[in-house]
A and B are shown apart, each in its own frame.
Chain A
């Protein structure tokens, strides 16, 4: 199987920060907004280098979304920054009316997504944000898998005209995608070709899927691993091509199975190519306090859980 090397654990939010630093130097229209979480979003370098293009909004996320919408009128490309919970559920109607329905070129950048936010617990973790955002007409939803890809995605979305939800996380995780990659919105990345089962993962679960595929290989199971960094628009073609070969699929995400990547894929497959599917996702539940690793274990969101799901789905072929 294709070998991937962890270039050194890093957090995806730092990838976002690095992407913002580059955008600050290359795109004069990019502006950043933050609701009192500069350190968490890793955007201090952007602020130091472009103080006039940074707007500290204070703890007022609704106002931040409206201001971002307004800044587009005049040609700015606003990137908003706060935790995923406060980037979505807290401000759903502001995003819906002032950004999505108004088709404003706002990039909603959401850190600390999912359960790996860890010890702060369920008030700050969100496992519903992909669903909330993908339901909005015209909203692009992206969940990159590591530092390098988050940096590339951050840079890429500045060149896309329209609202984008960019989701990333808090913990340091394996950094294994190429540093110089070109990020193509809506284009799945084939990580490992296989013949027995398709594993389609997004975000932090991509690395876990590669680990699972490695372990499965030793059991004689050939797993195809696809990184779907863009949940909407979904690269249906890549998924269809794969399941037509393997005949079954496991989807993996750090999100509720209701509203997530797996649901999008299930809906697409139901219409185009019904396929046995297992879901690695949380099961309609809130999170809780704990270390990221403990939580991923408890809620069945790691490489071991993926291996078990593969065995289940193979039985259903």
Chain B
């Protein structure tokens, strides 16, 4: 269907943006960014109800919070290409005096960002606060959040997970990026987290799985499904199965590209696998 093809162009272009951003400064986190590209594009272009422009309060529009802030490249690319700030500004990623800090921040006034993140485990609490503010404001738009799977090793998440269900915060959709990898290796090797579906369900969440987290149509369908489950007295969790480094063959099936940039040759190879669609910045 043509709509999906258009969105796929965003996905491909964002992959190029991610690769070029981290290459230029020889730092940043391409692996998780590439794995979540479909999710971000689906969220911002298809799923969320957004107002024109940006204000911090975000009343009467859906809000997104990125908890695993290290995947800032995908976030910045999608925000820029959605029109929050000039696409050319992607060229300043991680440079001195840039609004595009290594990890997202409100500190430099970058439109689209509502909380600093990077120190892990804090985003779900923030998202819950924003969700409760919406309820107080009789605002029936939704809160979306994204968390790394390794990030769930941070205990604050479980305080938030317990709270969300206990207090029936049912206007939030928290997505876990299940790529099974973290800096030191496979999550199962670093610290096995067991069955996350059962854990979330035991805490009282409504959990759904998107098994094909890098299939745009599947991601959209899963997010629509999640939306339909809000307002039922339970917070909603999506377990999003993704491939770290997706779209670049040599970055897939390994945790090596969690926080490493490609060299010139690797960049060329990676870009050849993702041909320019909407124009490079």
Instruction: Give me the interface of A with B, judged by CB distance under 8 Å.
Output: 31, 52-53, 55, 57-58, 60, 62-76, 78, 93-94, 96-98, 101-104
Task: Please give, as numbers and ranges, the residues of chain B lying within 8 Å of A98 by CB-CB distance.
Answer: 115-116, 122, 125-126
Cβ B133 vs Cβ A63 within 8 A: no
Q: Which residue of A lies closest to B58 (CB)?
A: A73
| Interface window among B19-27, B134-142, B195-203, B210-218 | B134-142
B176: shortest Cβ distance to chain A, in Å? 17
| Interface window among B9-17, B91-99, B156-164, B224-232 | B156-164
B63: shortest Cβ distance to chain A, in Å? 7
Task: Please give, as numbers and ranges, the residues of chain A lying within 8 Å of B128 by CB-CB distance.
Answer: 63, 66-67, 70
Residues of B in contact (CB 8 Å), total: 40
Per the bound structure, the CA–CA distance linking A73 and B123 in Å amounts to 13
A59: shortest Cβ distance to chain B, in Å? 9
Cβ A66 vs Cβ B57 within 8 A: no
* Contact string against A for B residues 94-119, beta-carbon threshold 8 Å, 1 for contact and 0 otherwise: 00000000000111000000111111
Cβ A66 vs Cβ B114 within 8 A: no
Choice from B63, B65, B118, B167 contacting A97 with Cβ under 8 Å: B118
Per the bound structure, the CA–CA distance linking A217 and B126 in Å amounts to 54
Choice from B106, B121, B133 contacting A76 with Cβ under 8 Å: B133
B59 proximal to A (CB < 8 A): yes
Cβ B156 vs Cβ A62 within 8 A: yes
Per the bound structure, the CA–CA distance linking A103 and B122 in Å amounts to 15
Known: A57-B163, A66-B124. 5 other contacts (CB 8 A): A62-B121, A73-B57, A74-B136, A74-B137, A104-B115
Which among B63, B136, B160, B162 has the highest number of chain A CB atoms within 10 Å? B136
Q: Is the interface of A mostly helix, strand, loop or mixed?
A: helix
Cβ B119 vs Cβ A55 within 8 A: no
Cβ A71 vs Cβ B160 within 8 A: no
Cβ A75 vs Cβ B57 within 8 A: yes
A94: shortest Cβ distance to chain B, in Å? 6
Choice from B106, B118, B139, B160 contacting A66 with Cβ under 8 Å: B160
B244 proximal to A (CB < 8 A): no
Cβ A74 vs Cβ B126 within 8 A: no
Cβ B119 vs Cβ A66 within 8 A: no
Which among B58, B125, B163 has the highest number of chain A CB atoms within 10 Å? B125
Cβ A55 vs Cβ B125 within 8 A: no
Which among A63, A75, A98 has the highest number of chain B CB atoms within 10 Å? A63
Per the bound structure, the CA–CA distance linking A98 and B63 in Å amounts to 16
A-B pairs with the 6 shortest C-beta distances? A70-B129, A66-B125, A74-B133, A63-B159, A60-B159, A67-B129
Cβ A102 vs Cβ B57 within 8 A: no
